[in-house]
Amino acid sequence: MKKCHVALLSAVLFAGTATPCLAEESRTFTVGICQYVQHQALDLATEGFMDALTEALGDQVDFEVSNAQGDSNTCTTIINGFVSQNVDLILANATTALQAAVTATADIPVLGTSVTEYGAALQLEDFHGTVGGNVSGTSDLAPLDEQAAMVKELFPDAETVGLLYCSAEPNSQYQIEVVQEELESLGLASKVYTFADSYDISAITTNAAAQCNVIYVPTDNMAASNAELIYNICMPAGIPVITGEENTCRLCGVATFSVDYYDLGYTTGQMAVRILRDGASISEMPIEYASGFTRRYNPQICKELGITPPKDYVALDAQDAR
C-alpha cells in the first residue's frame, strides 16, 4: 500500500477554547480497470465508474485503464499486472475480467460491473447476494420475464424465437435458460443457437434467421461486439431482433428492456469510494442492481421492418440509433 501524506494543522483558538491539533490525511489511490472488450455498453460503464471516483476523490485517484479486446488471456495478463503493481482496487468490467481478477488475487478489492449474475459467473453454489472475500460489484441483470413478455407483446404470432448467444459466456447461458422458460410459459416455441467465437457467429446467425421468426440476444459481449454483423444478416431477411441491453439495440435491435450502463458504472464507482475513502469492508457489501429499467425501441429499424411499438416504449435518441 502507498504511504499516506499527513499535513499537520496548527491549533486554533476560538472563543477562548483551544481546538485540538488535527491531522488531515491526503492519499493517492491507484485503481486498475480491466475492460474485457470495447463496445458502447462497457465503455459507458467504465466512464460512469471513473466519473464517480473523480467527483468524490479528485486528484487523489489515478487510473490504469486497459482493454483486453475480447481476449481472455489478455484479461489475465492485465489483471496480473495490476496485482504486481499492488493497486488499491481493481474494476473488472464484464464477466471474463471478473473471473480473471478473482483468480489472480484474494487480497486486493475487486469490483465487478456489467456482470449479469455473480453466482453463475463465479460458480457459487450458495449465492444469496453477497460474494464475500475481496469481491463485490454491480449487476446489469434486467427483468428477464419482462424481456420475454416484450417478445410476446411485439410478435404475438411468432412461431419460433431464436435464442442467440456466445457459449463461452456463462451469464449469457443463464439468461437464455431463464428467457426460454419464460417464453414457453407464454406459449412461444424457442430454439437455441450458440456460437463459440466471432469466427462462427455469421454462420450461426444466418441459420437462426432462416429458421426463426424473431431472434433474442441477451447481454452478451461477443454479440454486442458483432452487432453490425447481426444487423447485416437479420435485416435483409426481415427478422427482428430483441436485445438484452440498449447499446446492442442501437445497432441491430428492434427493442429492449434495459439498464443504463453509465449509471451502473457510476454506482460501482460509488462503491469504490466507500471502500477506498471510507474504509468499508468489501466482504460485507452485497451486489447492487440497477434501480430502473426502460422499454426502448430503435426508430430506424422499426421503420425498416414496419413495426409500430406500443406508446409506452421510449425511442432511442436519434443520434444514438442507427
Closest CA to 201 of 172, 228, 176: 228
C-beta contacts of 24-30 below 8 A and 24+ residues apart: 26/60, 27/2, 27/60, 28/2, 28/59, 28/60, 28/61, 28/62, 29/2, 29/57, 29/60, 29/61, 29/62, 29/88, 29/89, 29/276, 30/2, 30/61, 30/62, 30/63, 30/64, 30/85, 30/87, 30/88
Phi-psi region of 16 (alpha: psi -120 to 50; beta: other; left: phi over 0): left
Mean pLDDT, residues 238-262 taken together: 94
- As given in the structure block, the three cell numbers for residue 74 are 489478455
- As given in the structure block, the three cell numbers for residue 173 are 447461458
- The reported pLDDT for the residue numbered 219 is 94
- The reported pLDDT for the residue numbered 24 is 35
- The reported pLDDT for the residue numbered 47 is 97
- The reported pLDDT for the residue numbered 25 is 58
pLDDT beyond 70 at 9: no
pTM above 0.85, yes or no: no
- The reported pLDDT for the residue numbered 82 is 98
What is the percent of the chain where pLDDT is above 70?
A: 91
Mean pLDDT, residues 210-237 taken together: 96
- The reported pLDDT for the residue numbered 252 is 97
Find all residues with CB under 8 Å of 18, minimum gap 6, and list them. 11, 12
Range in 12-26, 77-91, 143-157, 165-179 with the lowest mean pLDDT: 12-26
pLDDT beyond 70 at 5: no
What is the percent of the chain where pLDDT is above 90?
A: 83
Q: Is 88 helix (H, G, I), strand (E, B) or coil?
A: coil
Pairing relationship of beta strands 110-115 and 5-8 according to DSSP bridges:
unpaired
**Residue the block writes with cell 488471456:** 73
Mean pLDDT, residues 65-92 taken together: 97
197 band by pLDDT with thresholds 50, 70 and 90: confident
